[in-house]
Amino acid sequence: MRIGETHAPQGTSIAVEGLTQRFGGNTVLDRIDLRLAPGQVLALLGPSGCGKTTLLKLLAGLTPVAPGHGRIRFGETLVAGDGQFVPPEQRGLGMVFQDYALWPHMTVGRNVAFALEMRGVPRSERAERVAGALEIVGLKGYAERQPSSLSGGQQQRVALARAIVAKPQVLLFDEPLSNLDRELRESLCHEMGLLLRAMGTTAVYVTHDQEEAFALADSVAVMHGGRIQQLSSPEQLMQAPASALVADFLKLGNVLHADDIPPAWRVAAQALARDDRHQHLFIPQGALQLGTDMRAAMRAQVVAQRWRHGRFITQVKTGAGCKGLSFTTAQRLGADAIVDLALDWPALRWLPQAA
């Protein structure tokens, strides 16, 4: 198999129900529910401390599920919960960590072969499968090298080969690219996406990097404070964030609390449909622009501009005591310049703080 080829899924489905994890009095995961179809890639995305790694460790079996704190199924098999516990080595897993976790005293080939040795796979078959896994990750001919002689990106490829060599039904990734520089991260992320599609393995991928999550995953669980705020496809998350927390974390636009809406926009904002729980006005990227041709235009003063992805991200203030806003434009504007801002009202929505 090579990157780009597709195979029938060899992964299993994953179902998590009511999963809760407490450390002392601290609830780190709070009744997590999720379902993943065979061969799907799920990203767990959220800020530091939101519980991503804790959830991954429960899936791996590195942390047991406490009695009455939910259950985890791989396919039809209950792997944790209700008094059942399948240990990590019997869950059909491959794991890739941030720090590569290669054994420094073993060659690349032995590092990759180790999981097969443990399973008692005969030597001749081992050599073939190790060579195959190294070829898949672009390290053909590296079997006799020492890990210390490889770059960070190459070491992470070895870790990936080691994770896939035993043909796992589930691959678990914990921030695997965060030790690499930006360019390498982007190219390896792209390659891993192709590889996961080609292998058809079910995968759960922990990251705090939105670009990585959106590039790799079929669905993304945005986590905050031990809960899944929204579990959707990347497209759906971008088009329809379910809460102010999600819109803000993904930087999808401006999110203004009802009390922070500039006076010039208040009447029009209150005319938009909302219910009592919806206290935040979401202004999607692109709905706030320079110009006076839309309803309730407003003057603002430029605070700062920075260049990103071919546009200027422009921060403005709209009046004393008002919360700052930002929008993108192709125009360079001088600091302190006074500009007219207009809103595309039909694109705006009221959102609840959290889902």
Ligand X SMILES: Nc1ncnc2c1ncn2[C@@H]1O[C@H](COP(=O)(O)OP(=O)(O)OP(=O)(O)O)[C@@H](O)[C@H]1O
The residues binding ligand X (CB under 6 A) are 23, 28, 46, 48-54, 208
Contact at 8 Å (CB) between 44 and 223? yes
Quick one: which of 187, 184, 159, 165 has its CA closest to 96?
159
Phi-psi label, residue 25: left if phi above 0, alpha if psi -120 to 50, beta otherwise: alpha
With respect to ligand X, which residue has the nearer C-beta, 113 or 217?
Answer: 217
Cα end-to-end span (Å), the chain: 42
Q: Which CB sits closer to ligand X, 51 or 193?
A: 51
Phi and psi angles of residue 217, each rounded to the nearest 5 degrees, phi first: -95, 150
C-beta closer to ligand X: residue 43 or 298: 43
Closest approach, Cβ 203 to ligand X, in A, equals: 17
Q: Would you call 276 helix, strand, or coil by DSSP?
A: coil
Q: Cα–Cα distance between 351 and 355 in angstroms, integer?
A: 9
Other C-beta atoms within 10 Å of 257: how many?
A: 12
Q: CB-based contacts of 240: which residues, under 8 Å, 6+ apart?
A: 232
Query: Least distance (Å) from ligand X to the CB of residue 64?
Result: 12
C-alpha to C-alpha distance for 316 and 143, rounded to whole angstroms = 56
Nearer to ligand X, 208 or 317 (CB): 208
- Least Å distance between CB 27 and ligand X? 9
**DSSP character for 342?**
E
- Measuring CA to CA, which residue among 196, 176, 172, 174 is closest to residue 184? 176
CB of 242 to ligand X, least distance (A): 20
Q: How far is the CB of 233 from ligand X (least distance, A)?
A: 22
Buried b (16+ CB within 10 A) or exposed e, 218-246: bbbbbbbbbbbbbbbebeebeebbbbbbb
In the complex with ligand X, which residue's Cβ is closer, 52 or 278?
Answer: 52
Smallest separation, CB 208 to ligand X (Å): 5
Q: How far is the CB of 110 from ligand X (least distance, A)?
A: 30
Q: Which is nearer to ligand X, 28 or 258 (CB)?
A: 28
Q: How many CB atoms lie within 10 A of CB 212?
A: 24
β-strand partners of 306 = 313
Between 29 and 130, name the residue whose CB sits nearer to ligand X: 29
Closest CB to ligand X among 54 and 254? 54
Minimum CB separation of residue 339 from ligand X in Å reads 38
- The DSSP output letter for 66 is P
